[in-house]
């Protein structure tokens, strides 16, 4: 797995993480470590471009969920009870973490795992950037 990053400045800096390769039990820690490093360096709005990710395992999904929680803790936008209620009602999508360019197979994995209830999924990187 290879990870590269770029930054787009719209209203604020958006860190775009381009992943090339599987995000699974052997690579999820490196994936998470890279994003944690970016957060530590000040990234507060993250877009994960997974157009070149053929496979994501439960370990990769867990890493995305952990990153979601880290960004939410930094922004303090809702307490846990309010967040769960809003997610259940379909009223919450993370304004800080989004993904783009999922293959149909990966989109199905995200939906089956319930990630689409709180993370926006975009088909186009420009639309994803403009959604922040």
Give the pLDDT confidence of 58-99 residue by residue, as tens digits. 999 999 999 999 998 888 776 777 777 777 777 788 899 999
- 131: tokens are 């959604």
Placement of tokens 């994960």 in the chain: 48
pLDDT band at 35 (very low <50, low <70, confident <90, very high): very high
Q: Which of 94, 91, 100 is nearest to 123 (CA)?
A: 100
Q: What's the pTM?
A: 0.90
3-state per-residue secondary structure call for 108-130: HHHHHCCHHHCCEEECCHHHHHH
CA dihedral 69, 51, 124, 38 (to 10 degrees): 40
| pLDDT > 80? residue 21 | yes
């Amino acid at each position: 797995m290879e990870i590269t990053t770029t930054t787009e400045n719209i209203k604020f800096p958006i860190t775009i993480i381009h992943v090339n390769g599987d995000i699974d039990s052997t690579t999820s820690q490196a994936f998470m470590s890279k994003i944690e490093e970016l957060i530590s360096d000040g990234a507060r709005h993250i877009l994960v471009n997974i157009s070149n990710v053929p496979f994501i395992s439960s370990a990769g999904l867990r890493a995305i969920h952990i990153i979601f929680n880290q960004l939410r803790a930094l922004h303090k936008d809702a307490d846990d009870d309010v967040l769960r209620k809003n997610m259940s009602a379909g009223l919450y999508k993370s304004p800080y973490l989004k993904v783009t360019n999922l293959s149909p197979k990966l989109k199905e994995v995200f939906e089956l795992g319930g990630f689409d209830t709180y993370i926006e999924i975009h088909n186009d990187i420009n639309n994803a950037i403009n959604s922040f």
